[in-house]
Structure 1
Amino acid sequence: MLCDRDRQLILATQGGLPLVPDPWQALGQQLGMPADEVLARFQRMQEMGVVRRVAAVPNHYRLGYRFNGMTVWDVKDEAIGRLGQLVGNLPFVSHCYRRPRHLPYWSYNLFAMVHGTSREEVEKKAGLIRDVLGEDCHGNTILYSSAILKKTGLRLKKDGS
C-alpha cells in the first residue's frame, strides 16, 4: 500500500523526472525530503511492483527517428532464450520480447523494435538481427508504425486514488 509520501512522489513525477543532473535532490527539495529518501522510496516501490522501472522515454520522432519497425522473427523455440538475449543486447534494439505463435496464421515468436531515420536504415538493422539469429531463424517481417502512441507512466488522481 502507498503512504502519503509515496503518493506525493508519484504525483510530482507523473510528467517525468526533473531534467537536472540530480533529479532525486530536486524532487527532495520540492517535497521536503532528503534525496536519499526519494531514491529509497522509488526503489521500494519498484520492489513492490508499484513502479516497474525508472527510465528515459525519448520522443524518437523529435530526435529524427521517424521510421519505427517492429521486426518479428520465427526462431526455434529451444533457442529463443539465448537468441532473445543476444538481440535484446544489440545497441539499436529498444525492446525485445517473446510472444506466442498463433499457427497457422502467425509463426513469429521473437519481437524486436528498431528505429531509424529511413526505411532503409530499419531494414539494415533488421539484417544485422538476421545475422545474429543465423540458421535458427526461419522467417521474418517488419511491421512499420503508422501512428505515434503517447507513452505515460503511473498516474494518480489528485485526490490520491
Structure 2
Amino acid sequence: MTALDPLDRQLIAATQSGLPLVPQPYEALGAMLGISSPEVQERLASMLERGLIRRIGAVANHYRLGYTANGMTVWDVDDAQVDALGERVGALPGVSHCYRRPRALPAWPYNLFVMLHGHSREEVERQAKAVAAVLGEACRGHDILYSTQVLKKTGLRLAMP
C-alpha cells in the first residue's frame, strides 16, 4: 500500500464528503489547500492510478430528484449469456446499477441485479419490461424488490490526526 503524503491526506479529507458544489470545484479545492487546480487534478489522477481511491463520480439522491419508486430487479439469466446481456441492460435508461452475483440455490436463483429508478412503481415496471425484452429467452424469471427506506450512502472516511 502506498503511503499518503500530508497534502494527499488533506485532499482526501476535503473531498470525502463530496466535491464542492460550485461551477469550478477543483479551483475551490485548490484555494482551500493552497495549490493550483491542475495540481488538484494531477494528485487525484495519481491516487486513482495508484489505487488509493477507486473513482470520482456523482452520487445522485434519487428521492430528492423525484424518483421515489426505486426497485432492485433481480433476474435468473442463463449463465452463458448473462455477461453480454448485462452489458446491454446496463446501458438502458433508468438503470443506475447492473451487476452479476452468484446464485444461492435453491432459495435464490437470481444472478443479475439491475437497479431501476422511477417516479412511480408503474414506471419501474415499464422499465423492467424493457429489461425483460433485452434478456429475451435467456431469462427464466425475475422479481422487483422495492426500497422501503433511504439509507445514507457514504464512502470510506479517513481518520485525520
Provide TM-score, normalisation by structure 2: 0.95
Query: Aligned residue for 1:120?
Result: 122
> Residue type of the partner of 2:29?
L
> Residue type of the partner of 2:140?
H
Q: Which runs of 4+ in 1 moved over 4 A?
A: none
Query: Aligned residue for 1:76?
Result: 78
Over the matched positions of the two proteins, sequence identity in percent amounts to 61
For residue 117 of structure 1, report the CA deviation from its aligned partner: 1.0
Q: Return 49-58 or 67-76, whichever deviates more.
A: 49-58
Q: 2:88 aligns with which of 82, 86, 98?
A: 86
Consecutive unaligned residues of structure 2, counting only runs of 5 or more, are none
Number of residue pairs aligned between Structure 1 and Structure 2? 159
For residue 50 of structure 1, report the CA deviation from its aligned partner: 2.0
For residue 122 of structure 1, report the CA deviation from its aligned partner: 0.7
Question: Does the alignment pair 1:109 with 2:89?
Answer: no
Query: Aligned residue for 1:30?
Result: 32
Query: Aligned residue for 1:136?
Result: 138
> Residue type of the partner of 2:94?
F
Question: Secondary structure of 2:74's partner?
Answer: strand
Q: Return 44-53 or 131-140, whichever deviates more.
A: 44-53
Q: Distance in 2 between matches of 1:80 and 1:3?
A: 42
Consecutive unaligned residues of structure 1, counting only runs of 5 or more, are none
Question: What CA RMSD, in Å, does the superposition of the two structures yield over aligned residues?
Answer: 1.0
Write the deviation string for residues 82-131 of structure 1: whole angstroms up to 9, x where unpaired.
01100111121001100001111111000010111111111111011001
Provide TM-score, normalisation by structure 1: 0.95
Q: Distance in 2 between matches of 1:131 and 1:114?
A: 15
Q: Distance in 2 between matches of 1:60 and 1:11?
A: 25
